Structure formats: C-alpha cells, structure tokens
Amino acid sequence: MRIGVLTSGGDCPGLNAVIRSVVHRGVVDHGDEIIGFQDGWRGLLEGVHRPLTLDSVSGILAQGGTILGSSRVQPSHLRDGVERAKKYCEDLGIDAVIPIGGEGTLKAAKLMSDGGLPVVGVPKTIDNDIACTDVTFGFDTAVSVATDALDRLKTTAESHQRVMVVELMGRHTGWIALHAGMAAGAHAIVVPERPFHIDRLTEVVRERFDRNKKFAIVVCAEGAKPEPGTMHWEEGVKDIYGHERFTGVANQLSRELEHRLGKEAKPVILGHTQRGGTPTAYDRVLATRFGWHAVEAVHKGAFGHITALQGTDINLVPLAEAVAELKTVPAERYLEAETVI
C-alpha cells in the first residue's frame, strides 16, 4: 500500500517516534511505501510531499519536534479543500492518510474522512485532553519538564520569601497543572475546569505564610480564569484559527496576590519549553505503539478511526467519538490534589 502521513497543530514530543514507527511497520513488515506531507494539512492541500524511507527516519526516535513540520490552516480553507485533497491522493496513488494531531487536527481528519478520504488518526497533545484515549504522548514529557521547573523554583522562592505564580500549558484543561502541581508539591493549583476565587486563593497563600513558611508556589494552567465578577480580568481575543490569545493568567494573578498579600509575587511562564526537546521513555513507547497500530488499522481498512490507549491496550475509536468532547479534569481528581496541597 501507499500511505501518507502528516503532523498538524501544536508540536509535541513523540511525533517523530510515531513517524518512525509508521515507516518501520509499513516498509519492513508490509512492504508499504510511506509518503510524508510537509507542514500538516497544508502539505496535502498544496501537494508538498516526499518519500519516507528507513533512512529518512533513522535517528529520530528521541528527537523532539517533527521532521515533517507542522502548520495551522483556517478550517474554512480545509473544508473547501476536501475534494482537492482526495484528487491529489488519487493522483499519487495514496491508499490512506495517517494524520497525527490534536483535537483540531482530528476534527479536520473527520471532515476529510466524511468526505471520502481513507483516514486513520493518531492523537497527540501535551494537554492530554483528547477523549477516548487514557493518555496522549507528549503529556508525560510536559509534566516532567514542568515538575523539574517547579522543583527549581521552590529553592529560589524560599531564599527570597516570594510567591511564585507558575503558568503551565493547558488551553482548555488543567491536566499538566494538576499532575506537575501534585508531583512538585505546589501550594495551590488553578485549572480552567474550576474558576478560581481570588479571596480563597489569597487566604491559602496567607495561611501558609502565617505558619511561618517562607514561600509559596501557585501553579496555574494558562486557560484558568476567575469566577466571573470576582476580580478585574483582561479577556483575550481570538486569532484567525479560533484560538484565544491569552492575556497571561500568571501576570494578572501575581499582580493581584502581591497587592493583597504585601509579599513579592513573581510570574513565571514556562511556555513552549514544555513541549520542546526529547520525549520521555513513556512517550516514546506510546508513540511507537500508536504508529504500529495505525498501520495495522490501515491494512484492516478501519478508516475513520483513531488509535487510543485504553488501560494497557491500544484500541480503535471512531473519529466522531474522539472529537465529540474534550477530556477535562473531573472534580474528584482535583479533590485528590487539594488534599495534599
């Protein structure tokens, strides 16, 4: 068979491990030809591609980023391009496409699949918010990077009796903040699923100083917001891809906490360091398994599905189910964290 592969949306440690696995399983075990589209859906819409051989994927297992590049394309442009993408694949003799991406990419994959393109998706995101899969690769790496940063911030915060307000990624969900906050022993964790009340947050930090503690670490997901009407809040505007441009929860929160507590509060925005660089061993294994199973699904003709980790098995889940809703942090998971902060 001839199989196309592309990476789309925000990059994520482990993308190269999936690409490598698709090439190995396809070429070595099935005698397939693998074609890589450049820069995500744009490569498919504009016809920019190259063959991927065993040599092209040699040495990329532990490499961050994606050798295929990624991009964002306006959804309307994508909707208009379904027929063009199909025609292009037919002309190239491509039997199936494996898009690797987050919830946006998988919505685009569903669009293509509904339009008749044979597609098997592979979910990726450091945010871990895709429904139907217990975990996405990239999440473990992001949590490790964030935990290491929090550990380091604790020692400098203590030396200067400061509050550190650390902003982690997590546009719609607080999985990275929850896990890194728990792993590093943060003193408050703020997530988008649970709007915060500035009075309560201030009290948590004040009580800590009252107990003669010398510092506090407040972890917040970038998409976290206050309960409406409880503090002045600058809302972000949406970009042309429909993503909110955040105004900086750490900046706004640290200003407010400093004002209320009379203690120095520093904002720290970890940003893209969380998704750059080498994937952890866990993410390399999960990514490799996803690639292997995506090729199997193509050979079974199981189009319109994504690979998903359920327990320890990799199963196939319909795209429609995978994009129906995001996997948010449930209240009981937040309660477990609250007990130890």
Ligand X SMILES: O=P(O)(O)OC[C@H]1O[C@](O)(COP(=O)(O)O)[C@@H](O)[C@@H]1O
**CB-nearer residue toward ligand ADP: 20 or 110:** 110
User: Smallest gap, in angstroms, from Cβ of residue 172 to Mg ion?
Assistant: 8
Partner that binds at residue 126, options ligand ADP, Mg ion, ligand X, none, CB closer than 5 to 8 Å by kind = ligand X
Active site residue 129: no
- Kindly state the helix (H) or strand (E) to which residue 200 belongs, with its residue range: helix 198-210
Question: How many CA atoms within 13 Å lie on the side-chain side of 32?
Answer: 28
| Binding residue positions for Mg(2+) | 103
Q: Determine how many CB atoms are found less than 10 A away from the CB of residue 301.
A: 10
**CB-nearer residue toward Mg ion: 137 or 215:** 137
Q: How far apart are CA 71 and CA 40, in angstroms?
A: 6
The arrangement of strands across the sheet holding 96-101 comes to: 49-52, 33-37, 2-8, 96-101, 120-123, 305-310, 313-318
Cβ pair 289, 23 in contact under 8 A: no
Q: How far apart are CA 129 and CA 173, in angstroms?
A: 7
| Binding residue positions for substrate | 125-127, 162, 169-171, 222, 266, 272-275
Cβ pair 130, 322 in contact under 8 A: yes
- Can you say whether residue 156 is alpha, beta or left, with left for phi > 0 and alpha for psi between -120 and 50 degrees? alpha
Interface with ligand X (CB under 6 A), residue total 12
Q: How far apart are CA 250 and CA 146, in angstroms?
A: 15
User: Smallest gap, in angstroms, from Cβ of residue 320 to ligand ADP?
Assistant: 13
For ligand ADP, the binding residues (CB under 6 A) are: 8-10, 41, 72-73, 75, 78, 101-105, 107-108, 111, 125, 241
**Is 170 one of the binding residues for ligand X (CB under 6 A)?**
yes
CA angle 271, 277, 280 (to 5 degrees): 105
Q: Choose, from 11, 39, 127, 283, the residue flagged as catalytic.
A: 127
User: Smallest gap, in angstroms, from Cβ of residue 106 to ligand ADP?
Assistant: 7
* Contact with ligand X (CB under 6 A) among 13, 26, 40, 102: 102
| Binding residue positions for ATP | 10, 72-73, 102-105
User: Smallest gap, in angstroms, from Cβ of residue 244 to ligand ADP?
Assistant: 11
Q: How far apart are CA 289 and CA 237, in angstroms?
A: 38
**Is 9 one of the binding residues for ligand X (CB under 6 A)?**
yes
* Contact with Mg ion (CB under 5 A) among 40, 104, 226, 304: 104
- Which residues form the interface with ligand X (CB under 6 A)? 9-10, 102-103, 125-127, 169-171, 222, 275
* Active site amino acids: 127
